[in-house]
Amino acid sequence: MTIDETTVQGHCDPAFKTVREAFEDSFAHGRELGAALAVYADDRLVVDLWGGVADRRSGRPWLADTPCFGFSCTKAVTATAALLLAERGAYDLDGPVTDWWPEFGVHGKADVTAEHLLSHQAGLPALDGPVTAEEAADAAAMADRLAAQTPEWTPGQGHGYHPLTFGWLAGEIVRRHGGRSVGRFVRDEFAGDLDLWIGVPPDVLDRAARMSSGRHAAAKGAAPDDPVPVGADGGTVLNRLSTATGEQLDLMNRAFNNPDPGKGGYNNPVVLAAGWPGAGMVSTATALAGLYRDLVGGRVLRPDTLREGIRRRVDGPDRVTLMDSSFGLGYMRPSMVFFTPPAGQENAFGHAGAGGSVGLGDVEAGIGMAYLPNLMGTQLSGDVRAYRLIDAVYASLT
């Protein structure tokens, strides 16, 4: 089926017309292959847009119900599951992990808390040996691997993004206290009515978008992106990278590239079916935005639990990405790696994904939004496409 790759479908409240314009602009300038965008404002679905193709090879169109891989947007969902169990009194966020995971306490990790696991302070951002996609499908074995490792730094003394291992660390909270996989717990407890999965069923896999490399956009002559405004310290990013030691760069490489997703990368059915709890979610934009709507509305976590969950626990230089990052308990807060306009700096929370995707909530503004593209972005930090959409959403609220 041949379609116009620049056509955007769906509906948009007139008050949010600049959001639609920003979304359409990305298609018009060749920055998108296929994508979906959804925004809830005060529980109303004010933006529900999609366009382009779900699969570059076949030309299959992106439809209203096309789900897409969300990379690290998954982490916020996994963190929500862990926080729900803490709210129920299943474990103590401030207590030692060894109270419920005794094997974890070796090699200087006896004092690690659940807060450390959820805020990227555990010192375990990378696995200590190669792991295949098939091996990574065993969550218990992955947790055992991490429990046996020596941390890269003293836990609690600095933070560094755990791109993939976060899922098996935070996921062990859910496995041990929820008695189920992260994906099963999420479906059972708060996402059963949403088109959102961590561990994709075969029928969903058949209609999911297929991820494509950013090289596709370059080949089509896509307009180059303007830099995202990151503030006066934005120039320090390249300086940190240019002066990074070989050891620092090696840690970054190991953290982001192991496990190896195998043939097809993150289109590999083995990865999608396994539902890596750090980067394995497949969702429609409407469903992911709906989860943030429910978080903001107090229907998943109590308001006090969410406030504690989004309270900044770490903020500043990241030992893995070498950029400034900021995290609550599993949720990103505005920083170099989670760009928001000034209006969102105090209250926005959520998570960005490596391919350009983002999920975002703001209790004060009353919004939940999600953007899921299948053309992977090439930005070192934050995605320009996502930033423009977030900026347009906040501008539409004034």
Angle at 307 between CA 174 and CA 177, to 5 degrees: 15
Instruction: Count structural domains, the chain.
Output: 1
How many other CB atoms are found less than 10 A from the CB of residue 307?
Answer: 12
Does 20 reside within a domain? no
- Tens of pLDDT along the chain (398 residues)? 445 566 899 999 999 999 999 999 999 999 999 999 999 999 999 999 999 999 999 999 999 999 999 999 999 999 999 999 999 999 999 999 999 999 999 999 999 999 999 999 999 999 999 999 999 999 999 999 999 999 999 999 999 999 999 999 999 999 999 999 999 999 999 999 999 999 999 999 999 999 998 765 544 555 555 545 544 444 555 666 678 889 999 999 999 999 999 999 999 999 999 999 999 999 999 999 999 999 999 999 999 999 999 999 999 999 999 999 999 999 999 999 999 999 999 999 999 999 899 999 999 999 999 999 999 976 555 589 999 999 999 999 98
Does 44 reside within a domain? no
Does 6 reside within a domain? no
pLDDT at 230: 46
List the catalytic residue out of 72, 212, 325, 381: 72
pLDDT at 367: 98
Cα distance between residue 385 and residue 373, in whole Å: 9
Q: Are 92 and 114 in contact (CB under 8 A)?
A: yes
What φ, ψ does residue 392 adopt, rounded to 5°?
A: -65, -35
Does 219 reside within a domain? no
pLDDT at 93: 98
Q: Give residue 238's domain range.
A: 67-207+234-378
Counting Cα atoms < 13 Å in the Cβ hemisphere of 340 gives 26
Does 168 reside within a domain? yes
Q: Report which residue type is found at 382.
A: G
pTM across the whole model: 0.94
Q: What is the CATH number of the domain that holds 330?
A: 3.40.710.10
Does 74 reside within a domain? yes
Cα distance between residue 273 and residue 117, in whole Å: 24
Does 112 reside within a domain? yes
CB-based burial, 43-61: b 16+ in 10 Å, e otherwise: eebbbbbbbbbbbbeeebb
* Catalytic residue flag (residue 381): no
